[in-house]
Amino acid sequence: MPSSWAEMIEYYQQIKDQPVNKKWVYLDGWVRGYLTNDLNRLVKLYNYEIEPEDFETMKAFQATLEACVADTTCLDPVLTSELRSFAERKSTYAPYLNLIRSNSLPADKRAYVQKLVGRLGFDLMTFEFYRNGTVVQVAPGKFEVPMSLGPYADAGSELSSYFDREWIGDTHSLRVVWEDPSKYPNIFRLFKQEGMGRAFVRQGAREMHLADGTLTRAVAHEFGHVVGFPDEYFTIWNSSNCTYTYRTNSESIMGDSEDGIVLPRHWAELEKQYPLK
């Protein structure tokens, strides 16, 4: 998977004179994904300046801010030098610190602390597992998740193979079970993404969207989101040349849907989240 638009342009240059080449399918998927991610970053500042190593620092920052919110006399969170340095170099956090310092009204100071807590909570969602209460461990190491086929009612068997093929190991497996949403109202439903787009999951809405041209391994990646796993790729800002690059965990299906696989830690997380009853 390319780590930047520049690498995709190089890839395009290699195949532009080959009208029949399966690599066009890969390029199509990458462009759709990058456009969607860039739009989310620009509109929502989603996955913005977050790096894999930031998680523990962000959790400590969150705890400090929440302690300030809980203390009605706190007007400016007391940050360690490490936390202050971290926050000041992040363009999503530094403005809040400046507003807290520059405002003289206690109510305004506390309001900005609360807003910073909200921003940090939004960013931490990048790392969080989203538990799907419909997933069941039906036998040791065997997991099932009910879903609705929606507009794909005639393609259940074929879709099952796309969903399940990557999520199988020596002692573990995860499979989809197609169910009627009228009987199971809380299950995820499939939708067809019209126009130029890509496959994606809306966990809160319990929706999985498939797009024309979606690669079969990308379906398995999105299935990982259905059962709760977050993405394992990050967009990293390089201020020296004003560019973004992608950092991925290329070993993991949740980091690289083309070459990644389901790892032992994924099965361990499913065991933890959905214990056998």
Query: What is the full DSSP assignment across 39-62?
Result: HHHHHH-TT-S--GGGHHHHHHHH
105-141 pLDDT tens trace: 999 999 999 999 999 998 998 899 999 999 999 999 9
What distances in angstroms separate CA 93 from CA 82, 84, 85, 87, 277, one per listed residue? Answer: 14, 10, 11, 5, 43
Comparing 31 with 74, which gets the higher pLDDT? Answer: 74
Predicted pLDDT at 4: 79
CB 77 within 8 A of CB 64: yes
| Beta strand extents in the chain (DSSP E only) | 136-139, 142-148, 173-178, 188-193, 200-202, 207-211, 233-238, 243-248
Tokens read off for 171:
């002692």
What stretches of 71-215 show up as alpha helix (H) in DSSP? 81-88, 94-102, 106-124, 156-164
Read off the DSSP letter of residue 136.
E
Read off the DSSP letter of residue 130.
-
Predicted pLDDT at 195: 65
Q: Which of 226, 229, 221, 197 is nearest to 210 (CA)?
A: 197
Structural fold of domain 136-273: Collagenase (Catalytic Domain) (3.40.390)
pLDDT-based confidence at residue 266 (cuts at 50, 70, 90)? very high
Mean pLDDT is highest, among 182-191, 238-247, 252-261, 267-276, for 267-276
pTM of the model: 0.79
51-78 b/e (C-beta count within 10 Å ≥ 16 → b): eeebeeebeebbebbbebeeeeebbebe
Predicted pLDDT at 68: 97
Predicted pLDDT at 102: 94
pLDDT reading at 254 higher than 70: yes
What is the mean predicted confidence (pLDDT) over 156-176?
94
Of the ranges 52-56, 95-99, 101-105, 241-245, which one carries the lowest mean pLDDT score?
A: 241-245
Comparing 82 with 36, which gets the higher pLDDT? Answer: 82
CA angle 259, 40, 2 (to 5 degrees): 30
167-218 pLDDT tens trace: 999 999 999 999 999 988 899 999 998 766 678 899 999 999 998 777 788 8
Q: Pinpoint the residues of the chain covered by CATH 3.40.390.10.
A: 136-273
